[in-house]
Amino acid sequence: MRDIKTFKLSIVSNMATVAQRILDSRVPDGSIEKKWDKRIFDVKLVNPANKRKYEIIVVGTGLAGASAAASLAELGYRVKVFCIQDSPRRAHSIAAQGGINAAKNYQNDGDSVWRLFYDTVKGGDYRSREANVYRLAQISTRIIDHCVALGVPFAREYGGTLANRSFGGAQVSRTFYARGQTGQQLLLGAYSAMNRQIYAGKVKSFPKREMLDLITLDGVARGIVCRNLTTGQFETHVGHAVVLATGGYGNVFYLSTNAKSCNVTAAWRCHRRGAYFANPCYTQIHPTCIPASGDYQSKLTLMSESLRNDGRVWVPKAKDDDRPPHDVPEADRDYFLERRYPSFGNLVPRDVASRAAKERCDAGYGVGPTGNAVYLDFRDAIKRDGEKTVRGKYGNLFQMYEEITADDPYHTPMRIYPAVHYTMGGLWVDYNLQSTIPGLFVLGEANFSDHGANRLGASALMQGLADGYFVIPYTLGDHLARAKFPSVSEDHPACKEALVESRNRIERLLGVNGTQTVDSFHRALGKIMWDKCGMERTASGLQQAIDEIRGLREEFWSDVKVIGTEGSFNQNLEHAGRVADFLEFGELLCFDALQRNESCGGHFRGEYQTPEGEALRDDENYAYVAAWEFNGVGNEATLHKESLTFEDVPLATRSYK
């Protein structure tokens, strides 16, 4: 194990030897409006009669995975789809509440593909790939059309047209929604499309399978190793391409709004096999979560940021003002978002809202028993629109809040605090969504491409479905039509090697037989990440974090206690494998945050801020994607850069004032 001094040196040497390999993003030439059309025309097609000869492995059944599985099967490919949940319908996309953006301009308020593109590039703090974002905005309208055709019950106006709401980071009303359960309804739509293909025999579903490794042959992705979580048996599956849609890595922080089973394992295993990991330090903190109530807290609950449409965020003007909110007169309230950002007010993007709340709490103005909360107050909205209207818009969110806190938000302002919610980083992909391993495609939150350093609200659902319904059906065929496929069966040495490695790792976890639980390690890692690599980061804090993570990882492998056996249903063992990978991945996340000497979007470095406390980007030196190549556990990763150019949305300082 390298000590911290050598490690610091290695960062310096690393910075000096970056960009060994030019990353080719394979963005088509031509004007931005024509790039996607050009690519669709340029891709090689697979003869319809030949499609059934190809078997595609799809890992993950959230919006991206389920929509990919359905659309690929509709084209005629044979698809095997895998998920860790007991049903594909339970993937964590289901928990998305607020909505999905689309540039329909149904409200006649000046929206357009160009504006959605512009807002997303700006919202991403100029760290996304322009061409990908434009394509996303272009596709957005077709997603809504298709979802309606599938029977997604979007909210409607009395006349029968689709309803819209506005969302953070935008001044137009372009968000489509289904109560506060938009993710659920879109996922059930994709799940139903996939079910149709399962019934037709074109998709084979493998629930309760955890992907533990990627099988590559001559550097091309050809299959996966997974463990059947019900029986504990290992399986290898081979095919002609692997589509990874396994979501984000927010649970590296332990407390996040992610579901408990969300993890980085599948992506990390691909990274270890050669897929570059891009921008892991771009993590999104969501401003409207319910604050933690005690040390037993197992996860945090998000409330849709659509609440900020009508709720007003405030803290008392005086420090340690412990009067109940009702007794604080208007003159003693600091509506700090409206004060600092008069034109966007409570609708500033998530990162801006989160940091502003933390700033108030750190300065001693926080409310509630822990002091780590700010008020989100609906008093004025109820006065203006009536309780019935507010109930119609947010009824289920208010009910959820009351169930958790025992406070009634119709009469007492909500208390909110930021929490880790979404991760913009992910496996590096080119314009075709192919990773640095040919044949491995990465979709949805698991890739890095569209949101830059910060994702706008209601854009995750849009991206997941764009990738699955409308991008992968075209780009996957290009790979299949061009690549050579030497025959491979499950007893091929490459399969056996990956299988043995996965099995050894599981046996190693069970063999430690130490004294500390998996969960205690996960909490310890989460605390390091949140304290030193959370909403605000500094070079010295990050160096400490890297040191501490290395120590914790060593301790894990010498003192973790995992109960039970390999060949059985064993939730403790599942968790152990995921935490083991988080302990490797967390180090890379901090390392990435350390090399990025600027603040942008979800990455805020204390050293780089304006006198007013706003993020200070360094476009001259950091307008690039950091894509990391794995060099072994404990060895520094190699940095490869994809430089970003902004031809259509000129670089500007993001301002929401």
Partner 1 sequence: MIQPVQALRSHGQRKSFSVMLKVWRQAGPTADGYLETFRVGDVNPDMSFLEMLDRLNERLILEGKDPVAFDHDCREGICGTCGVMINGLAHGPLKNTATCQLRMRSFKDGDTLVLEPFRAAAFPVVKDLVVDRSSLDRIQQAGGYISANVGGAQDANAILVPKKQADVAMHSAACIGCGACVAACKNASAALFTGAKVNHLASLPQGQAERKERAVNMVARMDLEGFGACTNTNECQAACPANISIQDISKLNREYFWASLTSQD
Instruction: Considering only residues 320 through 349, tell me which ones interact with partner 1, judged by CB under 8 A.
Output: 324-326
From 16-24, 158-166, 218-226, 487-495, span contacting partner 1 (CB under 8 A): 158-166
Q: Which of 132, 205, 309, 502 binds partner 1 (CB under 8 A)?
A: 205
| Nearer to partner 1 (CB atom), residue 485 or residue 557 | 557
Task: Identify which of 551, 644, 625, 635 has the alpha carbon closest to the alpha carbon of residue 14.
Answer: 635
Q: CA-to-CA distance for 468 and 62, rounded, in angstroms?
A: 10
CB 474 → partner 1: shortest distance, Å? 11
CB 302 → partner 1: shortest distance, Å? 8
Q: Which of 171, 173, 192, 609 binds partner 1 (CB under 8 A)?
A: 192
| Nearer to partner 1 (CB atom), residue 155 or residue 539 | 155
* Torsions phi, psi for 641 (to 5 deg): -115, 140
Which amino acid would we find at residue 330? E
Sheet with 220-228, strands from edge to edge, namely 209-217, 220-228, 234-238
CB 336 → partner 1: shortest distance, Å? 20
Q: CA-to-CA distance for 148 and 318, rounded, in angstroms?
A: 50
CB 303 within 8 A of CB 401: yes
Q: Does 517 bind partner 1 (CB under 8 A)?
A: yes
CB 388 → partner 1: shortest distance, Å? 15
CB 473 → partner 1: shortest distance, Å? 7
From 185-193, 423-431, 526-534, 638-646, span contacting partner 1 (CB under 8 A): 185-193
And the tokens for 495? 């399969």
From 37-45, 330-338, 363-371, 593-601, span contacting partner 1 (CB under 8 A): 363-371
What would the x/- binding string for partner 1 be over residues 129 to 148, using CB under 8 A? -------------x-xxxxx
Q: Does 294 bind partner 1 (CB under 8 A)?
A: yes
**How many contiguous H segments (helices) and E segments (strands) does the chain have?**
19, 21
Q: Does 297 bind partner 1 (CB under 8 A)?
A: yes
Q: Which of residues 231-290 bind partner 1 (CB under 8 A)?
A: 259-261
**Which candidate in 209, 350, 415, 596 is catalytic?**
350
Q: CA-to-CA distance for 642 and 444, rounded, in angstroms?
A: 20
Q: Which of residues 458-487 bind partner 1 (CB under 8 A)?
A: 469-470, 473
Chain-centroid distance, C-alpha 414: 26
Q: Which of residues 389-448 bind partner 1 (CB under 8 A)?
A: 400, 403-408, 411-412
CB atoms within 10 A of CB 16: 7
Q: Does 149 bind partner 1 (CB under 8 A)?
A: yes
333-334 and 374-377 as β-strands: parallel, antiparallel, unpaired? Answer: unpaired
Residue 353, CA distances (Å) to 341, 350, 440 in order: 10, 5, 36
And the tokens for 129? 């790939």
Please indicate whether residue 350 is annotated as part of the active site. Answer: yes
Residue 640, CA distances (Å) to 73, 277, 627 in order: 35, 10, 5
Q: Does 527 bind partner 1 (CB under 8 A)?
A: no
Q: CA-to-CA distance for 259 and 243, rounded, in angstroms?
A: 22
Residue 566 DSSP symbol = S
CB 39 → partner 1: shortest distance, Å? 16
CB 209 within 8 A of CB 233: no
| Nearer to partner 1 (CB atom), residue 103 or residue 217 | 103
CB 121 → partner 1: shortest distance, Å? 25
CB 169 within 8 A of CB 457: yes
What would the x/- binding string for partner 1 be over residues 551 to 590, using CB under 8 A? ----------x-xx---xx-xx------------------
Q: Which of 195, 538, 597, 638 binds partner 1 (CB under 8 A)?
A: 195
Q: Does 298 bind partner 1 (CB under 8 A)?
A: yes
The helix (H) or strand (E) run that includes residue 7 is: helix 4-16
CA triple 496-497-502, angle to 5 deg: 95
The helix (H) or strand (E) run that includes residue 477 is: helix 472-482
Q: Which of residues 81-120 bind partner 1 (CB under 8 A)?
A: 85-90, 92, 94-95, 104, 106
Q: Which of 36, 77, 134, 191 binds partner 1 (CB under 8 A)?
A: 191
| Nearer to partner 1 (CB atom), residue 67 or residue 435 | 67
CB 570 → partner 1: shortest distance, Å? 9
Q: How many residues at the interface with partner 1, by CB under 8 A? A: 91
- Catalytic residue numbers, as ranges: 350
